[in-house]
């Protein structure tokens, strides 16, 4: 219920965090940043996620307009996931997070701005 309320908040940060609110959503977006992938490929790239959680995560990201689920009427049936334009906007933000994580910045190089 809180998550739904956050999605309709007047605060853009609260709305954005409601979309990215689980630990797996940014990781799924990261996996899809360069190419389309099938469910099994996504699961293989995120070893610790359960199939149930991955399914829920993909459904929520699709509902939020971050990913596109494309069904192919073939035998056997095939489904591919890719980022929408809205999802692609998140890639540079996630790249900055990875750069932040790997940066070696000492406390003396940080400046405080008030």
Indicate whether 73 belongs to any domain: yes
In the chain, the number of structural domains is 1
User: 54-103, pLDDT tens digit by residue?
Assistant: 999 999 999 999 999 999 998 888 999 999 999 999 999 999 999 988 88
Domain of 49?
A: 2-93
Indicate whether 109 belongs to any domain: no
What is the pLDDT at residue 94? 94
HSE toward the beta carbon, residue 1, CA cutoff 13 A: 0
Whether omega for the bond prior to residue 76 falls within 30 degrees of 0, making it cis, is yes
pTM value is 0.83
Judge whether residue 1 has pLDDT over 50.
no
HSE toward the beta carbon, residue 26, CA cutoff 13 A: 16
Residue 114 pLDDT level (bands cut at 50, 70, 90)? very low
Indicate whether 55 belongs to any domain: yes
Q: Which of 28, 61, 63 is nearest to 43 (CA)?
A: 28
What is the domain-level CATH number for residue 39? 1.10.10.10
Q: How far is CA 101 from the centre of its chain?
A: 17
Indicate whether 105 belongs to any domain: no
Indicate whether 8 belongs to any domain: yes
What is the pLDDT at residue 55? 97
């Amino acid at each position: 219920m809180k998550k739904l309320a956050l999605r309709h908040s007047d605060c853009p940060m609260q709305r954005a965090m409601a979309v990215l609110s689980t630990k797996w959503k940014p990781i799924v977006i990261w996996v899809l940043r360069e190419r389309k992938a099938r469910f099994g490929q996504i699961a293989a790239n995120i070893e610790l996620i359960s199939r149930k959680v991955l399914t829920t995560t993909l459904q929520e990201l699709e509902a939020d307009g971050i990913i596109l689920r494309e069904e192919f009427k073939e035998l056997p049936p095939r489904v591919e996931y890719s980022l929408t334009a809205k999802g692609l906007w998140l890639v540079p933000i996630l790249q900055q997070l990875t750069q932040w994580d790997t940066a070696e910045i000492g406390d003396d190089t940080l400046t405080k701005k008030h």
